[in-house]
A and B are shown apart, each in its own frame.
Chain A
Amino acid sequence: MEATTEQQYTFKDFTSDQEVRWCPGCDDYVILRSMQKALPEMGVKREDVVFISGIGCSSRFPYYMNTYGMHTIHGRAPGIASGVKLANPNLSVWVMTGDGDAMAIGGNHFIHVLRRNIDLNIVLFNNEIYGLTKGQFSPTSLVGQKTKSSPYGNTQPPFIPGELALGAGARFFGRIGGNVPKEITQMMIDAHKFKGTSLIEVLQNCVIFNDGCFSNITDKDVKEDKQIFLEHGKPMIFGKNRDKGLVLNKLKLEVVTIGENGITQEDLLVHDAKEKDPTLHQMLVRLDYPVATGIIRSFEDVTFEEREEALTKQVKENSKFKKTDDLFFSGETYTVK
């Protein structure tokens, strides 16, 4: 997977000749450009990169990348990507998906790919709405949200993608706003480096059907106060003035202010993304205030293909069957003259 040539790519090398057809102002453009900038940093050869998508706005993504790609059917990208990776573990495989694609029609594949821990990367464009079908509620839409299919307000409680993912055994989960290209790029690089299934949830604004759905979290003027950007090994601190932080109070996370009630920075929790036990990561992904962003979990584990490879090697070494003829003529055969 690592490039052995001296070739240095730029984002242009990963830009296809196809005209990008998302709505003007869509965060998808930010994600696209972030990816095109991340790939040259990964040191991976262009021909070894494969983008797989399902159906939805996000799923047009592969057409815009000058790599191998498949735009497949609704919800099934994780299954297809698993097949690509198992057929050729040398490839860098990316699943580009949305909230409906991944968690409604494709929910089963989404949880199972995370459970297996195949070394591939998933970028989940979460805009809490169905965009391509013009505005129905999705599995992440809020209760009460008025959409084309819920004119009086949505009555179905949402999934929290990180909660679902961690529950399914995700080893890598990152969350990031759709308006911070540098951070998205970095997270993509980190996801690529991570061995195992990585999931990035991008809080992606849909300018047409759900405009502003994350503005109270991601807008420039509020994001420092409303988000806590987590970094492994660093204290859980946030706020414009860097004076807010998280502590554990009994079984709950609590926001505290440094300098009040004798709280100092030393009292704050220190983020451990690499911890095997996901309990604290679960609490973090569920927080409404502040909303946790950054790499929340990054626990390195054995991958599915490593297990398979080890077994295959072992079976090959111990087997008397080298060619199919060895098998066909083995055991109980008899000859007719």
Chain B
Amino acid sequence: MISDKVKLQPEVVEAVVIRFVGDSGDGMQLTGTQFSDTSAMFGNDIATFPNYPSEIRAPQGSLYGVSGFQVHIGSVEVSTPGDNLDLLVAMNPAGLKTNLHALKPGHTIIVDSDSFSKKNLEKAQYETNPLEDGSLENYRVIQVDMTSLTKEALKGVEGLDNKSITRSKNMFALGMVYWMYGRSRDYTIDFFNKKFKSKPHLIEANTRVLNAGYFFAETLELIPNAYTISPAKMRPGTYRIIMGNTATAWGFLAAAEKSGLELFLGSYPITPATDILHELVKHKHFGVKAFQAEDEIAGIASAIGASFAGDLAITTTSGPGLALKGEALGLAMIMELPLVVVNVQRGGPSTGLPTKTEQSDLLQAMYGRNGESPVIVIAASTPANCFQYAYEAAKLTLEHMTPVILLTDGYIANGSAPWKITSLNDLPEIKNRISKNASENWHPYDRDEATLARNWAIPGTAGLEHRIGGLEKDRITGNVSQAPENHEIMTKVRSEKIKRVQNYIPEIKTEFAEEGDLLVIGWGGTYGSLHSAVKQINEEGYKNIGLAHFNYINPLPKNTEELLKKFKKIIVCELNNGQFAKILKINFNGFEFLQFNKIQGLPFGNNELIEEFKKLVK
């Protein structure tokens, strides 16, 4: 049944946002992934974001048990999973209730009307049935008896119990959406063939239901509000869809192979960083040593040990874990050993909002250690460039002999997007500082003149036996030294070493405008939101707004101040209470840094950004 109170006026658009929602067990993640992968194969640019409850198996039908998957597909560049929905597919009342607010007025809802039972309505805290009470009259509602139709489609397929029958209704929904957006079913059918290789009845069942949904939509001649999403213009190359956390893991794999070192991960499970551990434990074929330790501290401690012994060592965590690692990170810093700490940020403080995104660990990354303890801090800004920045973190730590903190966040870590695959041959060289031969005048704290990086002598090398530790050390020999001047010199050297990294990182460039009235500043995972907002406002005619998005935080790019001078106003946009703005204020005098902050565990919305920017340029 299709409500026709809303007159359908299909429009040609360049991008649409679709959200699939249902119960945790309804298979929404799979449905969403299939749709986005198929669209990517078709040539669309895509960005996706899963949204699932922190409860593993929340009670069926409950509001907090709703699991969702959002996908943004476009014939143009797509840089975020999108804000407002063009299509909402709701498999139950709870899904409808918790997601309706995101749907654009006049746009389409597909519901499984079979699931709108009295019991489910109660669980979703609906007093009346929204399909009947008129509350949805501003939307175009497509009611489909999906459960019954799925059962019907599966009549005669042997070996299916009731549960597997009901569970495949997500494929009915997917089939419908495929027809609506003119997508091929081939990729998904191919997926069934691989996944259920040894269970032919499941291949048969899923294919049947997918087809049933597809033909059902054809019969109804369902058309979406928006269609014509042709392939996007993307740079030529081979692509794959990648999640941020996977990209991070792969960046380290590449860095290990390029540098000729073995990769060691010491880690302890923590949301939302655990997927990096999950990914790296798979890669024993590359000799990866992924060690699940007894706690966060042992995670970093084992990595420090592995680094001392000559591995490319990393540890992965999220906010509370970084707090626990603070002391050990200070040790790695004073011992001047290579080590990468990945912090996939989540909402804080304390346990905070574990499954939500935030950028509030920036100051912790910068200053969260005792004593004068600077480290390199860099941040990835998209799911795909987590690869690039993980690689860069490894390169910097090995070449500069100091720990690097790589910041990502829950939003880009769990989001996925097309990644133009980078072959190892196309990545920059990594030169490690391992001392191989004993010489009379060798000292562990001899430094490279340009970078101030010290030597790395690893156990097993005859003649280079030495001791290092957490006590202040003599600036040449590395022996314990409490000499007052020596401590000051060493403190300054460690700080200068970080500063000189400026000579090895790219300058910051603005997008959309090189000078003008307003400079929008962001860092890390907000790139997609800021980029699309500034792009849109630029297309609306505001040509005087530029975007400067930072990936290098400590040290900042050399030309930062120069760039700030080119704009009349500066606004720093962050998902925290103004931490990067503080860093800019400390570093650059004479500028007014306006702030736009959001601390809701959510990414920026396009409209709120545009509204804010317009206010500032009038």
Contact = CB atoms under 8 A, between A and B. Distances in A.
Do A and B assemble together?
yes
A331 B306 contact: no
Contacts of A97: none
B584 to A, nearest CB: 33
A69 interface: yes
B298 A73 contact: no
Interface string A82-97: 1111111011000000
A68 interface: yes
Contacts of A78: 298
B38 to A, nearest CB: 10
B237 A72 contact: no
Interface stretch (B222-230, B354-362, B464-472): B464-472
B298 A109 contact: yes
A336 B43 contact: yes
B328 A87 contact: no
The 10 closest A-B pairs by CB, nearest first: A83-B305, A71-B469, A79-B301, A83-B302, A319-B285, A87-B309, A79-B298, A87-B306, A69-B467, A83-B306
6 contacts: A46-B462, A73-B470, A79-B294, A316-B284, A331-B240, A334-B240
Given A18-B479, A84-B459, A88-B460, A329 B238 contact: yes
Given A91-B309, A333-B239, A324 B460 contact: no
Interface string B477-488: 001100000000
A328 B422 CA distance: 8
**Residue in A45, A65, A68, A335 with the greatest tally of chain B CB atoms within 10 Å:** A68
Contacts of B283: 321, 327
Interface in B439-497: 458-471, 479-480
B304 A80 contact: yes
Nearest to A80: B305
Interface string A295-337: 0000000000000100110011001011111011101111111
Interface string B387-421: 00000000000000000000000000000000001
A50 B469 CA distance: 13
B331 interface: yes
A79 B284 contact: no
A50 B459 CA distance: 7
Given A63-B480, A112-B298, A328-B422, A47 B309 contact: no
B467 A81 contact: no
Contacts of B287: 312, 316
Contacts of A321: 283, 285-286
A119 to B, nearest CB: 14
Nearest to A316: B285
Interface string B289-303: 101011101110111
B240 A333 contact: yes
Interface string B211-253: 0000000000000000000000011111111000000001001
Given A76-B328, A82-B293, A336-B235, 15 more contacts: A63-B467, A68-B467, A72-B304, A72-B470, A73-B328, A83-B304, A85-B309, A87-B309, A319-B284, A325-B424, A327-B253, A332-B240, A333-B238, A333-B421, A336-B43
A332 B418 CA distance: 11
Contacts of A51: 467
A187 interface: no
A62 B470 CA distance: 12
Contacts of A52: 305
A251 B236 CA distance: 77
A67 B466 CA distance: 6
Contacts of A328: 240, 250, 254, 421-423
A155 B94 CA distance: 56
Interface residues of B, number: 68
Given A83-B305, A315-B284, A324 B234 contact: no
A47 B277 CA distance: 32
Interface of B: 37, 40-41, 43, 234-241, 250, 253-254, 257, 262, 264, 266, 283-287, 289, 291, 293-295, 297-299, 301-311, 313, 327-328, 331, 335, 421-424, 458-471, 479-480
A229 B245 CA distance: 55
B188 to A, nearest CB: 12
B264 A86 contact: yes
B241 A62 contact: no
Contact of B424 (A66, A81, A91, A323): A323
B314 to A, nearest CB: 11
A108 interface: yes
Given A328-B422, A336-B239, A312 B284 contact: yes
Contacts of A79: 266, 293-294, 297-299, 301-302, 305
Contact of B238 (A45, A47, A85, A334): A334
A231 interface: no
Contacts of B304: 72, 80, 83
B239 A334 contact: yes
A16 B468 CA distance: 13
Nearest to A74: B327
Nearest to B40: A334
Nearest to A75: B297
Contact of A87 (B41, B295, B310): B310
Contacts of B238: 329, 333-336
Contacts of A108: 294-295, 298
A62 B469 contact: yes
A73 B235 CA distance: 49
B298 to A, nearest CB: 4
Nearest to A16: B467
Contacts of A67: 465
Nearest to A335: B238
B309 A84 contact: yes
Nearest to B301: A79
A70 interface: yes
A329 B310 CA distance: 29
A324 B257 contact: yes
A48 interface: yes
Interface in A122-167: none
Contact of A83 (B237, B297, B313): B313
A112 B294 contact: yes
A308 B288 CA distance: 11
A58 to B, nearest CB: 14
A50 B299 CA distance: 20
